[in-house]
Amino acid sequence: MSTKRSFRVAGLFAGIGGFELGLSRAGHETVVLCENDPAAKAVLNSRFPDIDLVSDVRDLRELPTGTDMIAAGFPCQDLSQAGDTRGIEGARSGLVSEVFRLLETHDVPWLLLENVPFMLQLGRGSAMRYIVRSLEELGYSWAYRVIDARAFGRPQRRQRVYLLASREEDPAPRLFRGSVTPSAPTDHHGRACGFYWTEGVRGLGWAVGATPTIKGGSTVGIPSPPAIWMSDGAIVTPDIRDAERLQGFRADWTKPAEEVGRRGFRWKLVGNAVSVPVAKWIGERIAGPTPDRPWGQPCGLVNGSWPKAAALVQGNASVVTLSTWPVNRKQEALEEFLMYPTKSLSLRATTGFEKRLSSSTLRAPDEFRMALKKHIARMKSVVKP
């Protein structure tokens, strides 16, 4: 007879509770939260009112008795391609060392980390080497894989690194269960396509039938939503409530943040959040019985930058070939997913993007380029003289 286990989880760098909400849906219990952003704290206090909230991870000296896991989506600003790329020694991303401090002083058998895939390349993988070496010195086995949130039916192309470590067992059979061929559409005809209107020189963030990754946006509350080229030719941005839903939260999950900051700040909170469906899937994997089937075989040792999946195998960091889709849930079309009114991309934003795109060598459908020009003309016609 199969049995399920429930972990007591300490949520560090909790943001708006993506890890915690997903893990709770898989049967786990959050026993303490740690977050220093005032707007995020307002959300956590509202959505998790009965859980102790510590403001600064550096002030957290004791974990609740019986804590089974630390879950931490530690700050990505120093590791992100869109950030300042200072690396793991940056002031913000370097706070992951506080996680290791707590693991060293407490008997916590499990760890779950999340961050951006660019950390696998930055500094030829120095950030990941620091993390796994620290874990090995503390007696943990580890495994990680890049997972795309589209695998869980959400029309948002969002890839993140999820690392699972344990002192009790090899975590690889749990995290590596499932590797399917992606079924995301590639033909843009008749489908809404997402893109970054802030790009146009080095990339588009192009996503057929989905939005690109929702970004953190401005630290001062200036919203930075993705843009969408709708099937009828309109160029729009989604409502913040649909952005929350794309991340697996209910609509208006971040509304309590408006009590302490600008409404636009909610985009930063949503963009920095952990995908709830992915967290739930991982929570289900660790709650269930020990897998009785092997997950496969490594195909070499890590050398330089890190692959999309790897694990500690017989004392070596070993490459594992896996899809970024562990499952293939039915994906709802983006236009059908959106529930709330969209907003036309502003004339200034569209004009700037179209100018950058026209002067670049980036490939984009001719119909899309024409839609941009028509949108600019339409917006100009409604601008009052």
Nearest alpha carbon to residue 226 among 345, 98, 90, 77? 345
Q: Give me the helices (H) in the chain, please.
A: 18-25, 38-47, 96-105, 126-137, 172-175, 240-246, 265-271, 276-287, 334-337, 347-359, 366-382
Same domain, 301 and 280: yes
Q: What is the pLDDT of residue 85?
A: 45
* Model confidence at 220: pLDDT above 80: no
What pLDDT was estimated at residue 297? 79
Q: What is the pLDDT of residue 2?
A: 54
Pick the closest to residue 164 from 289, 371, 19 (CA basis). Answer: 19
Q: Is residue 111 part of a domain?
A: yes
Residues 337 and 313 both lie in one domain: no
pLDDT value, residue 384: 60
* Alpha carbons 293 and 315: distance in angstroms, whole number: 21
Domain count, the chain: 2
Q: Let me know whether 28 and 104 are in one domain.
A: yes
Is the Cβ–Cβ distance between 310 and 355 less than 8 Å? no
Indicate if 129 and 54 belong to the same structural domain. yes
pLDDT value at 123 more than 90: no
94 in a domain, yes or no? yes
What number is the average pLDDT over the span 234-253?
98
Q: Would you say residue 267 lies in a domain? A: no
In sequence order, which residues have a C-beta less than 8 Å from that of residue 369 and are 6 or more positions away? Answer: 354, 357, 358
User: Tens digit of pLDDT for each residue in 362-385?
Assistant: 999 999 999 999 999 999 988 665
- Residues marked active site are found at 76
Q: Are residues 62 and 170 in the same domain?
A: yes
Q: Residues 102, 242: one domain?
A: no
Three-state SS for 367?
helix
DSSP notation for 85-128: ---TTSTTGGGHHHHHHHHHHS---EEEEEE-GGGGTGGGGHHH
Is there a single domain that holds both residue 242 and residue 293? Answer: no
Pick from 62-76, 91-105, 297-311, 348-362 the range whose average pLDDT is largest.
348-362
> Exposed, middle or buried: residue 353 (CB in 10 Å: 0-12, 13-18, 19+)?
buried
pLDDT bin (cut points 50, 70, 90) of residue 218 is low
Q: Which residues pair with 284 in a beta bridge?
A: none
Residues 83 and 177 in one domain: yes
Give start and end residues of each alpha helix (H) in 62-219: 96-105, 126-137, 172-175
Instruction: Tokens for 61, please give them.
Output: 């000296």
Please say if the pLDDT value at position 290 is more than 70. Answer: yes
- Kindly report, residue by residue over 275-284, the tens digit of the pLDDT: 999 999 999 9
Taking residue 59's Cβ as centre, other Cβ atoms within 10 Å add up to 10
- Both 168 and 310 in a single domain? yes
Q: Which domain holds residue 291?
A: 8-182+273-319
Specify whether 212 is located in the same domain as 71: no
Sign of CA dihedral 225, 231, 234, 235: positive
**Which pair of structure tokens corresponds to residue 66?**
């019986």
Give the pLDDT band of residue 96 (cuts 50, 70, 90): confident
Q: Residue 3 falls within a domain, yes or no?
A: no
pTM for the structure as a whole: 0.93
pLDDT digits (tens, 9 = 90+) for 148-202: 999 999 999 999 999 999 999 999 999 998 999 998 889 999 999 999 999 999 8
Residue 89's pLDDT is what? 53
Query: 282 and 139 share a domain?
Result: yes
Residue 20 counted as domain residue: yes
Residue with tokens 């061929």: 181
Same-domain check for residues 174 and 218: no
Give mean pLDDT, residues 15-28. 98
How far is the C-alpha of 164 from the C-alpha of 173, rounded, in Å?
11
Q: What is the CATH number of the domain that holds 69?
A: 3.40.50.150
